Amino acid sequence: MRKIMIALTLLLIISVLFIASKNKNEKSPGTSSSSTSQQTNKNTVAFDKSKYSIDDPDSIWIIVNKKRPISTTFIPSNLVTPDVKRDSSDSDAEQQVRKEVGSSIESMFADAKKEGLDLMLASGYRSAALQKTYYDGYVARDGQAAADRYSARPGTSEHQTGLAFDVARGDRKCYLEICFADTPEGKWLAANAYKYGLVLRYQNGKEDITGYQYEPWHFRYVGTALAEQINKSGQTLEEFFGL
């Protein structure tokens, strides 16, 4: 009888140890997963949308559109002429962009050239006075309603900030036309511009949001951090900032 009691006691102890060991193993993955999740959350930093002003025309994040004009007297203080192929029909001033944009353009054009592509800077900075000349001419030719779809009124053009520019092929094929999107140059720019801190400002199908028709040649400098966010989301600047 004593032997039976000892055997039962040993069996009970072994059972308890087995159950305890099993519970410990089942809990371990959950604990590890929780720890990993906490570590991941700690390493994930939310994008700071307030890093730069979207109202200050000197800011690289300034958002200019029909509802968000800037003063017609504004002139960027650090305009430079990029060392790239430029449209000879433009005035000297219109071949300029802000310094940080110029560096971006030079790098992008150089990399495109390595891919056998021939890019040309078609238009950069425009004063409000020059923009008025363009706009008035388009209104006279096509009427105001049509002109408003593709041309900005003075004070509402991104070109005045020195942060926006138009790109064309060196041979001028599809020059500032929607068919530019289907050229090798247009496709390469659409896929790679964000790497240089640039966004395609007027996207296809977003006219109701941006206020302008699709312009596959019009790029805007915002810096690489924001450009990457826009590229991932597929949003316009207005959508990204909730405007």
Token readout for 109 is 């054009």
Please check whether residue 98 is in contact with residue 78, taking contact to mean a CB–CB distance below 8 angstroms.
yes
More confident residue, 17 or 174: 174
Give the per-residue pLDDT at 11.
52
Contact present, 64 and 128 (Cβ < 8 Å): no
pLDDT, position 209? 97
Residue 32: pLDDT over 50: no
Cα end-to-end span (Å), the chain: 86
Mean pLDDT of the chain: 87
Q: How far apart are CA 175 and CA 52, in angstroms?
A: 33
Work out the average pLDDT over 193-206: 98
Integer Cα distance of 32 and 139 in angstroms? 66
Tens of pLDDT, residues 101-125 = 999 999 999 999 999 999 999 999 9
Exposure string for 28-60, b = 16+ CB within 10 A, e = fewer? eeeeeeeeeeeeeeeeeeeeeeeebebeebeeb
Model confidence pLDDT, tens digit, residues 44-66 = 578 999 999 999 999 999 999 99
Q: What is the mean pLDDT of residues 206-232?
A: 97
Domain 79-240: which CATH class? alpha beta
What angle do helix axes 99-114 and 184-192 make, rounded to 10 degrees? 130
